[in-house]
Homo-oligomer: A and B are copies of this chain.
Amino acid sequence: MRQTKRDELVEKATAIFYRNGFQATGMDRLVAETGISKTSIYKHFETKDDLIVATLKSRDAFLRGWLFGRMAELTSSPREQLIAMFDALHEWFNEPDFHGCMFAKASSEYQDPEHPINREATDHVARISAQLAEIAEKAGLNHPSELARQLALLKEGAVVLATMGRGGSPALDAKAVATKLVEEADPDK
């Protein structure tokens, strides 16, 4: 019942795809870097695309778990969590192996909205937005869904600029804007 080999494969493949890109990573390279035979890989996944989808599911669980977990670590107040998200992002951007958002890359490389890989990517951003809206609601702020959309906007923009920008601290720029937005959505004036 242990499916450790499959898990090991997904975990290693996630890292390799993230670092190296999807189309740019051949199956032979995957074999070489994971030490798992191609036969074995294709016993667990019918196609490369299936494997990619699995890595995205894994990454989605990890990333959302980490982000919202870190926000909860930083503060227990839902209202402050919305702002603390940008501190968490700041930490993420400054990790030495930060290479942008894996889902943005996936969506770039597989543009067809019908493609399961693209679906997985758009699912990820939808889930993040939904969680933000939930927190905004819990915080009792005005127009929680509008606020969540705006915070998502800032979050995605910060990721892009952290990836493609030249220096600076986009997460902190975003935090400044987010702070204003949250203050304005405060029902107590």
Distance from A21 Cβ to chain B, minimum over Cβ atoms (Å):
6
Distance from A48 Cβ to chain B, minimum over Cβ atoms (Å):
14
Measured between beta carbons, the chain B residues less than 8 angstroms from A155 are 157
Distance from A63 Cβ to chain B, minimum over Cβ atoms (Å):
15
Q: How far is the CA of A24 from the CA of B70 in the complex (A)?
A: 37
- Whether A104 is near chain B, meaning CB under 8 Å from some CB there, is yes
A125 near B24: Cβ-Cβ < 8 Å? no
Q: How far is the CA of A177 from the CA of B170 in the complex (A)?
A: 16
A170 near B157: Cβ-Cβ < 8 Å? no
A contacts, CB < 8 Å to B: 19-21, 23-24, 99-100, 103-105, 107-109, 111, 121-122, 125-126, 129, 146, 149-150, 152-161, 163-166, 168, 170, 173-174, 176-177, 180-181, 184
Listed A/B pairs (15) with beta-carbon separation below 8 Å: A21-B109, A23-B24, A100-B108, A100-B111, A104-B104, A105-B108, A121-B164, A122-B165, A125-B165, A129-B165, A153-B173, A153-B174, A156-B156, A177-B177, A180-B181
